[in-house]
């Protein structure tokens, strides 16, 4: 009886030890097995697999990207440098295109201002 009273008192006092939540980690073999099973599944079975395994569809998305990265050919040092250089040049190209659009817009604005104010090339030449 005393043990029951002590347990109830502890429960009421909130002295229950709660485990710390930890992020789940999945082995590479487990990921491959689930992806293979999902690839073979018929329509409607994927949800059953996800519920059975206690995972989310976002896991499948991330794992598929992981799998395609594992199976693709890795780039050598020179190829990686070329990819980085290409990305840098694409960014620079985009900046220059924006700068060009702004300059063209300014020229267009200047042309319209000349028209509105009535300045013509002929009147400037004759007054000089």
HSE-CB of 121 using CA atoms within 13 angstroms:
1
Q: Are residues 67 and 26 in the same domain?
A: yes
Q: In whole angstroms, what is the distance from residue 114 CA to residue 120 CA?
A: 7
Q: In whole angstroms, what is the distance from residue 44 CA to residue 38 CA?
A: 10
What stretch of H or E contains 7?
helix 2-13
pLDDT in tens, 44-84: 899 999 999 999 999 999 999 888 886 556 667 788 888 88
Q: Are residues 48 and 107 in the same domain?
A: no
Question: Where would I find the H helices in 19-76?
Answer: 28-40, 45-53, 57-71
Supply angle C-alpha 114, 118, 122, rounded to 5. Answer: 90
User: Average model confidence (pLDDT) for the chain?
Assistant: 84
Q: Are residues 41 and 56 in the same domain?
A: yes
Q: Are residues 66 and 96 in the same domain?
A: no
For residue 85, give the 3-state DSSP assignment: helix
pLDDT in tens, 3-50: 656 556 556 656 677 778 888 899 999 999 999 999 999 988 999 999
pTM given for the model = 0.42
Q: In whole angstroms, what is the distance from residue 25 CA to residue 35 CA?
A: 16
Domain count across the chain? 2
Predicted confidence at residue 118, as pLDDT, reads 87
Q: In whole angstroms, what is the distance from residue 86 CA to residue 90 CA?
A: 6
Q: Are residues 61 and 7 in the same domain?
A: yes
């Amino acid at each position: 009886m005393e043990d029951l009273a002590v347990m109830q008192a502890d429960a009421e006092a909130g002295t229950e030890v709660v485990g710390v939540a930890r992020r789940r980690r999945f082995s590479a073999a487990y990921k491959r097995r689930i992806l293979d099973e999902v690839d073979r599944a018929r329509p409607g079975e994927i949800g059953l697999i996800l519920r059975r395994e206690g995972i989310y569809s976002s896991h499948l998305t991330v794992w598929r990207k992981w799998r395609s990265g594992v199976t693709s050919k890795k780039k050598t040092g020179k190829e990686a440098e070329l990819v980085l250089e290409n990305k840098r040049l694409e960014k620079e190209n985009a900046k220059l295109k924006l700068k060009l659009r702004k300059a063209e817009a300014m020229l267009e604005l200047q042309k319209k201002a000349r028209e509105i104010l009535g300045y013509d090339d002929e009147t400037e030449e004759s007054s000089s």
